[in-house]
Structure formats: structure tokens, C-alpha cells
Amino acid sequence: MDASIPPLPRSPDVPPVTSGVPRWLPWVNFGAGALCLLWMIPSWFIINGMFADLPAEVQPPAVLTYLLTAIPGIGGLALLFAGVCLARRQGYLLCLLASAATLLAGPVLIVGLLNIIQLTRPPVKAAFGRSPS
């Protein structure tokens, strides 16, 4: 005896279930992350030029140059990680934390806020397997 279950009839006014995460959002993260990583090169020269103009007595330590140069890199890596999490729909909390880390990187603040807003929507939570409450 074949006990196959027939598909449920669909009502025409019920929209189909989608993944909840917009398809363009991971690509925005990848693009902004790549731009942040590329921005490390000019920021190195800008920061070095800014500190070179100071007198020798008041120049900050070299570690500060490395730290200020690393901030866009950290933001770029966080955006790339958030994009991967959004594309795979895995790691909801890690994606939320990576999006929050981009708030430190200045120009990509808008992308981080967009990620956080999208991650708090109920369909996106459901796409990650979280309860939408």
C-alpha cells in the first residue's frame, strides 16, 4: 500500500514562504567589506602623513598608527563575515555581533545599521531558525 501524502492546496491570496533575508543584502556586505579592506591602504598614508607633520616631541607611538589603520580592516572583515552568515542563514548571533562591530568602522556604519534592522525582522529570524517573537 502506497501511503503518499498529497500536497496541501494553496490559497491564491497566501504569499509563498520566502527566506526572509533579501538577496541583495549579503552582496552589499561583501562590497562594503572589500571597500573597507581596500581603504586600509590610503588610510595608512593619510595617518602617517598626519603624524609626520607633528614635532618629534609630540609624535604618538607607532602602535597608534597601526591601530588606526586596522580599524577599517576590522570593519571590513566583520562585514565579510556578516555577509557569509546572511548568505548561509547560519549563525544569527554571530551575524548580529559582526554587524555591531561595523559600527566602529565609520563609513560602513550605514551597512551595519541596515544589517541590524534586517536581522531584527521576524521573517529573517525565522530564516535563521529563530522564533520570531
Place of cell 496541501: 8
Give the pLDDT of the chain (133 residues) as one tens digit per residue. 556 776 666 655 544 445 677 888 889 989 988 988 998 899 889 888 888 888 888 888 888 888 888 888 888 898 899 889 888 888 888 888 888 888 776 667 888 888 888 888 888 888 887 766 5
Q: How many CB atoms lie within 10 A of CB 115?
A: 30
Alpha carbons 125 and 122: distance in angstroms, whole number: 5
> Domain locations in the chain?
25-53+60-127
Alpha carbons 102 and 10: distance in angstroms, whole number: 42
**Structural contact between residues 28 and 114, judged by C-beta atoms closer than 8 angstroms:** yes
Question: By C-alpha distance, which of 27, 29, 16 is closest to 78?
Answer: 29
**This prediction's pTM:** 0.73
Alpha carbons 91 and 53: distance in angstroms, whole number: 45
